[in-house]
């Protein structure tokens, strides 16, 4: 039979996270540590903004780059935060949409993309889909930014370096010293840095420094999905200094033929979200982080997460990581094998975006298994 499926599809796998998430639908009241989705709902006043926009008839296409007022507000905020004059902004269908557009605009077959390991799952698969080459740089066991190893990995084929802080899956927040050192190397080598900051509001022990403050050739990815629980609304943005204006222009052009624009009524809600204080929500997640960490630290080897809502935990020595995950799922606790996020299979990921009661229940079960 003649093959009709494109060869490129063989370069990616089905999402391991989604597989476990789907499994959860078949279990009775599981402890679901699998999916990276806030357990709170979109704040009511932001829902009302979206409803108002829908009822007011703001349901047509927006400009490809985003609603003019929203685009300007984001540009003002980004300019103040990073000291950029007249930054370029593209409103996208979630940071995931922004990642796809950026990779499509930047990565040619054979280009090398440097990615600290562990990493967010999309990076690897999108680079592979486009014929690029992932260059993974080990950050085990402490998951700090491996600045020197990244420097040694840069070649003439390096197209970009990807940073993700706070990090999914480790919860690591890179220090100002680390990102400044990375900026110096990137500037010396003239390499673009893509910085995925979707969890930038979730920093628990101090500031969450962005490399964009220190390096102009930084492509910044931020959004509303995690901070405002708008995961299903698909809304994010990409920002860049004027020196990368051509990158934003190419991404915008590709958006014309793919997403067309981000969902229009939700862009109106995003205007209100820019001024919405999520401090109380972040405080509640700091407590969840502490509840999980204190509950597991005596039985497991883990680095205390500084942000996001994940912990990346070493499997007990008497188990393989995948074997431990299987035992946990059999005990009604959904966790994700570390091999989904890494070239190694030694750890597992927990998302503690769930109720305190479920965290306590899950911690008890995992400690008993260990």
pLDDT 10s digits, 125-158: 999 999 999 999 999 999 999 999 999 999 999 9
The pLDDT mean for the chain works out to 94
Q: Which domain holds residue 81?
A: 58-273
Do residues 205 and 262 both lie within one domain? yes
Do residues 258 and 310 both lie within one domain? no
CB 334 within 8 A of CB 31: yes
CA atoms of 361 and 260, how far apart (whole Å): 44
What b/e readout covers 52-61, taking b as 16+ CB neighbours within 10 angstroms? ebeeeebeee
325 lies in some domain: yes
Section 50-59 average pLDDT: 96
53 lies in some domain: no
Rounded alpha-carbon distances, angstroms, from residue 361 to 20, 66, 295: 19, 43, 10
pLDDT tens-digit series, residues 297-322: 999 999 999 999 999 999 998 888 88
Do residues 193 and 339 both lie within one domain? no
Do residues 291 and 242 both lie within one domain? no
Give the global pTM: 0.94
pLDDT tens-digit series, residues 61-82: 999 999 999 999 999 999 999 9
CATH of the domain at 282: 3.90.1150.10
120 lies in some domain: yes
Total domain count for the chain? 2
Other C-beta atoms lying within 10 Å of the C-beta of residue 173: 25
CA atoms of 157 and 128, how far apart (whole Å): 15
Rounded alpha-carbon distances, angstroms, from residue 86 to 77, 89, 94, 95: 11, 9, 23, 22
Last residue of a domain, one of 273, 301, 321: 273
Do residues 146 and 230 both lie within one domain? yes
CA atoms of 214 and 352, how far apart (whole Å): 32
pLDDT tens-digit series, residues 170-206: 999 999 999 999 999 999 999 999 999 999 999 999 9
> Tell me, what's the pLDDT at 22?
63
Last residue of a domain, one of 238, 273, 308: 273
Do residues 286 and 208 both lie within one domain? no
What b/e readout covers 191-201, taking b as 16+ CB neighbours within 10 angstroms? bbbbbbbbbbb
pLDDT tens-digit series, residues 196-227: 999 999 999 998 999 999 999 999 999 999 99
pLDDT tens-digit series, residues 18-41: 666 566 666 788 999 998 889 999
Do residues 113 and 255 both lie within one domain? yes
β 347-351/31-32 pair status: unpaired
Last residue of a domain, one of 273, 301, 319: 273
């Amino acid at each position: 039979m003649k093959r009709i499926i494109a060869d490129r599809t063989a370069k990616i796998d089905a999402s391991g996270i989604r597989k476990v998430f789907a499994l959860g639908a078949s279990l009775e009241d599981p402890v679901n540590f699998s999916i990276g989705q806030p357990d709170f709902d979109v704040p009511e006043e932001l829902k009302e903004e979206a409803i108002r926009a829908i009822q007011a008839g703001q349901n047509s296409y927006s400009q490809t780059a985003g609603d003019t007022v929203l685009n300007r507000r984001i540009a003002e905020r980004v300019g103040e935060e990073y000291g950029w004059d007249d930054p370029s902004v593209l409103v996208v269908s979630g940071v995931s949409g922004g990642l796809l557009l950026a990779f499509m605009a930047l990565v040619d077959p054979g280009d090398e993309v440097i990615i600290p390991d562990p990493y967010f799952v999309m990076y690897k698969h999108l680079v592979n889909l486009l014929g690029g080459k992932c260059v993974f740089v080990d950050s085990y066991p402490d998951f700090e930014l491996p600045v020197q190893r990244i420097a040694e990995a840069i070649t003439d084929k390096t197209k970009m370096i990807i940073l993700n802080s706070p990090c999914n899956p480790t919860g690591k927040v890179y220090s100002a010293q680390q990102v400044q050192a990375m900026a110096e190397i990137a500037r010396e080598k003239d390499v673009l840095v893509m910085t995925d900051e979707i969890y930038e509001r979730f920093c628990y022990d101090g500031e969450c420094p962005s490399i964009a403050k220190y390096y102009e050739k930084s492509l910044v990815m931020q959004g509303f999905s995690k901070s405002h629980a708008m995961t299903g609304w698909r809304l994010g943005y990409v920002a860049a200094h004027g020196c990368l204006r051509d990158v934003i222009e190419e991404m915008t052009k590709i958006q014309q033929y793919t997403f067309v624009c981000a969902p229009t009524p939700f862009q109106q809600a995003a205007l209100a979200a820019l001024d919405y204080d999520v401090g109380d929500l972040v405080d509640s997640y700091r407590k969840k982080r502490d509840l999980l960490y204190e509950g597991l630290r005596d039985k497991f080897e883990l680095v205390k997460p500084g942000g996001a809502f994940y912990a990346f935990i070493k499997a007990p020595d008497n188990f393989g990581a995948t074997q431990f995950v299987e035992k946990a799922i059999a005990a009604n606790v959904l966790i994700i094998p570390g091999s989904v996020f890494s070239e190694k299979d030694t750890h597992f990921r927990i998302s503690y975006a769930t109720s305190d009661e479920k965290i306590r229940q899950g911690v008890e079960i995992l400690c008993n298994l260990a």
